[in-house]
């Protein structure tokens, strides 16, 4: 058995090793040499959402009989090639549906109710310090470059606030604890990343370890590019989730499970799929743009195929708009990521809850400073219970195949 993905689960590896000769492809340095010497003995591939079996690999394994994936998604497997070669394919449907749907709702709550931001607020000691009212003299130690890049070698940038200005004093009215690992000494910070500016407000930045207000540095208003005002997200005060309209792209097992949960929050549900479903009462939109324009929270819950790649594009994002929230528990490539990043940065989109990214584990660093965004490391199916069930299915399918029994969850 060749495991093509990085080991996704200790129990899976342990159980595979008990039953088969397991090669962990990911940790083999000279893959070409390894394949040359072992290709004839490899009869099964175990993959996941991060790596499966592409045409090139399938071509190199002449005796491959089965691909058993530790995922419901099949986008990393060349199904056409498998079919052509008579290679069986299995995945792990159903067992992870509840987890992924739970997480989608969790992301909605986290973005709207500012859960992660509120947690940072407590951990940073900010809550204890109380609300901010302060009068201080401005220092001007930050350099503003013509292209609106702020640069400092004075330490990690940990705090960004907006202050209302009265004469030479200012009152902090909104704070975003950034705590951003991407911002180290000398990091360039683009102003375009701060989207909440308004002419009546100044941007205040502080450095070093949280909030000694006298350390705050005022940036001259005239130097700051004013972007779209968006003051709807105040510190730990969020937005109501109950009753928000939810649009779902893909109404398969996971999409339906999300809809059921959102219904319990009294959310009106609408959806987009290739063809309208006759067995649901939710409103159907044949166009993704129209679905996005009509809902407050848009969820991506469909499979990744050539047809659904970049299903979230600029037009869809603009239709969702500055008050809309995008939730992606599908796959990174469902979204045109640079478009999403610029929409969030410019305030054309209200917020996002993302479990998946285009090039995992690389996440666009521009998102790290945004407080209306919740970022997760692809943990949709990540509970002990579900991961065990997924592993049991992977192993059960391999055993069934090698014992000439019916597969448990066949795709091909
Ligand atoms: C991953 C997933 O497989 O099921 C899917 O399609 O994306 C996840 O369950 C899991 O995180 C291991 O990569």
- Residue 284 belongs to domain with CATH number: 3.40.50.720
Query: Does some domain include residue 380?
Result: no
Residue 366 C-beta-side C-alpha neighbours within 13 Å = 17
360 is catalytic: yes
Q: What is the pLDDT of residue 117?
A: 82
Q: Examine the domain organization and report whether 309 and 195 are in the same domain.
A: no
Whether 48 lines ligand 1, by a CB cut-off of 6 Å, is: yes
Residue nearest to atom 3 of ligand 1 (CA): 71
Q: Examine the domain organization and report whether 250 and 340 are in the same domain.
A: yes
Q: Examine the domain organization and report whether 336 and 355 are in the same domain.
A: yes
Q: Examine the domain organization and report whether 268 and 340 are in the same domain.
A: yes
Query: Does some domain include residue 289?
Result: yes
Give the pLDDT means over successive 10-residue stretches in the chain (412 positions). Answer: 96 98 96 96 98 98 98 98 98 98 98 88 69 31 33 34 38 38 35 33 37 32 31 57 98 98 98 97 98 98 98 98 96 98 88 98 88 94 98 98 98 97
CA 276 to ligand 1 centroid distance, Å: 27
CA 47 to ligand 1 centroid distance, Å: 10
Query: Does some domain include residue 231?
Result: no
State the closest ligand 1 atom to the C-alpha of 74, by its place in the atom list counted from 1.
6
Question: Per the confidence metrics, is the pTM higher than 0.95?
Answer: no
Q: Examine the domain organization and report whether 243 and 371 are in the same domain.
A: yes
State the closest ligand 1 atom to the C-alpha of 356, by its place in the atom list counted from 1.
7
Residue nearest to atom 7 of ligand 1 (CA): 49
- Structural domains of the chain, count: 3
Query: Does some domain include residue 233?
Result: no
- Alpha carbon 103 to chain centroid, angstroms: 11
Q: Which of 360, 365, 366, 389 is catalytic?
A: 360
Q: Examine the domain organization and report whether 196 and 255 are in the same domain.
A: no
Residue nearest to atom 6 of ligand 1 (CA): 73
Domain end marker among 177, 195, 223: 223
In contact, 41 and 20? CB cutoff 8 Å: no
Residue nearest to atom 13 of ligand 1 (CA): 49
The secondary structure element, H or E, covering residue 165 is strand 157-166
Query: Between 97-112 and 253-264, two packed helices, what is the crossing angle to 10 degrees?
Result: 50
Whether 324 lines ligand 1, by a CB cut-off of 6 Å, is: no
Q: What is the pLDDT of residue 118?
A: 83
In contact, 378 and 356? CB cutoff 8 Å: yes
In contact, 249 and 300? CB cutoff 8 Å: yes
In whole angstroms, what is the distance from residue 281 CA to residue 149 CA? 50
Q: Examine the domain organization and report whether 170 and 315 are in the same domain.
A: no
Q: Examine the domain organization and report whether 370 and 294 are in the same domain.
A: yes
Q: Examine the domain organization and report whether 130 and 104 are in the same domain.
A: no
Q: Examine the domain organization and report whether 80 and 218 are in the same domain.
A: no
Q: Which of 88, 216, 331, 387 is catalytic?
A: 331
The secondary structure element, H or E, covering residue 2 is strand 2-3
331 is catalytic: yes
Query: Does some domain include residue 228?
Result: no
Q: What is the residue range of 304's domain? A: 97-113+239-375
Q: What is the pLDDT of residue 268?
A: 98
| Strands 373-375 vs 44-47: parallel, antiparallel or unpaired | unpaired
Q: What is the pLDDT of residue 129?
A: 59
State the closest ligand 1 atom to the C-alpha of 69, by its place in the atom list counted from 1.
3
In contact, 251 and 280? CB cutoff 8 Å: yes
Query: Does some domain include residue 230?
Result: no
Q: What is the pLDDT of residue 236?
A: 57
How many other C-beta atoms lie within 10 A of the C-beta of residue 222?
Answer: 6
In contact, 341 and 112? CB cutoff 8 Å: no
Residue 205 main-chain phi, psi, to 5 deg: -120, 140
How many other C-beta atoms lie within 10 A of the C-beta of residue 20?
Answer: 18
Query: Does some domain include residue 232?
Result: no
Whether 301 lines ligand 1, by a CB cut-off of 6 Å, is: no
Domain end marker among 223, 250, 283: 223
Q: Examine the domain organization and report whether 21 and 46 are in the same domain.
A: yes
Q: What is the pLDDT of residue 400?
A: 98
In whole angstroms, what is the distance from residue 299 CA to residue 231 CA? 24
Q: Examine the domain organization and report whether 360 and 391 are in the same domain.
A: no
Q: Please state the ipTM of this predicted complex.
A: 0.96
Query: Does some domain include residue 88?
Result: yes
Residue 21 main-chain phi, psi, to 5 deg: -85, 115
Domain end marker among 188, 223, 258: 223
């Amino acid at each position: 058995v060749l495991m093509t993905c990085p080991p996704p689960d200790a129990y899976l590896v342990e159980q595979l090793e008990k039953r088969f000769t397991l090669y962990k492809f990911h940790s083999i340095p000279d893959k070409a040499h390894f394949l040359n010497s072992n290709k004839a003995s490899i009869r099964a591939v175990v993959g996941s959402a991060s790596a499966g079996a592409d045409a090139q690999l399938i071509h190199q394994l002449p005796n491959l009989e089965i691909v058993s994936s530790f995922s419901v998604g099949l986008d990393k497997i060349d199904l056409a090639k498998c079919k052509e070669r008579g290679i069986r394919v299995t995945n792990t449907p159903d067992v992870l549906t509840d987890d992924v749907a739970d997480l989608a709702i969790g992301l909605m709550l986290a973005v709207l109710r500012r859960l992660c931001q509120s947690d940072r607020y407590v951990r940073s000691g900010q809550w204890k310090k109380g609300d901010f009212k302060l009068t201080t003299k401005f220092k001007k130690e930050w350099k503003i470059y013509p292209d609106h890049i702020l640069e400092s070698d004075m330490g990690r940038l940990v705090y960004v606030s907006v202050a209302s200005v009265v004469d030479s004093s200012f009152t902090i009215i909104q704070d975003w604890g950034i705590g951003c690992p991407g911002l180290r000494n000398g990091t360039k910070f683009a102003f375009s990343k701060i989207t909440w500016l308004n002419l009546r407000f100044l941007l205040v930045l502080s450095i070093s370890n949280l909030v000694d207000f006298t350390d705050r540095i005022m940036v001259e208003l005239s130097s700051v590019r004013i972007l779209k005002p968006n003051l709807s997200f105040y510190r730990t005060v969020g937005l109501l989730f109950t009753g928000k309209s939810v649009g779902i792209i893909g109404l398969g097992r996971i999409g339906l499970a999300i809809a059921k949960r959102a219904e319990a929050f009294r959310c009106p549900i609408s959806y987009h799929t290739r063809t309208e479903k006759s067995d649901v009462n939710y409103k159907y939109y044949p166009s993704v743009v129209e679905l996005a324009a009509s809902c407050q929270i848009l969820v991506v819950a469909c499979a990744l195929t050539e047809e659904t790649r970049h299903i979230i594009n600029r037009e869809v994002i603009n239709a969702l708009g500055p008050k809309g929230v995008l939730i992606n528990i599908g796959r990174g490539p469902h979204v045109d990521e640079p478009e999403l990043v610029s929409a969030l940065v410019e305030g054309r989109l209200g917020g996002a809850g993302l479990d998946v990214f285009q090039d995992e584990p690389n996440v666009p660093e521009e998102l790290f400073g945004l407080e209306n965004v919740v970022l997760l490391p692809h943990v949709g199916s990540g509970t002990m219970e579900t991961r065990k069930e997924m592993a049991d299915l992977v192993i059960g399918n391999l055993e069934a195949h090698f014992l000439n029994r019916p597969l448990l969850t066949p795709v091909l």
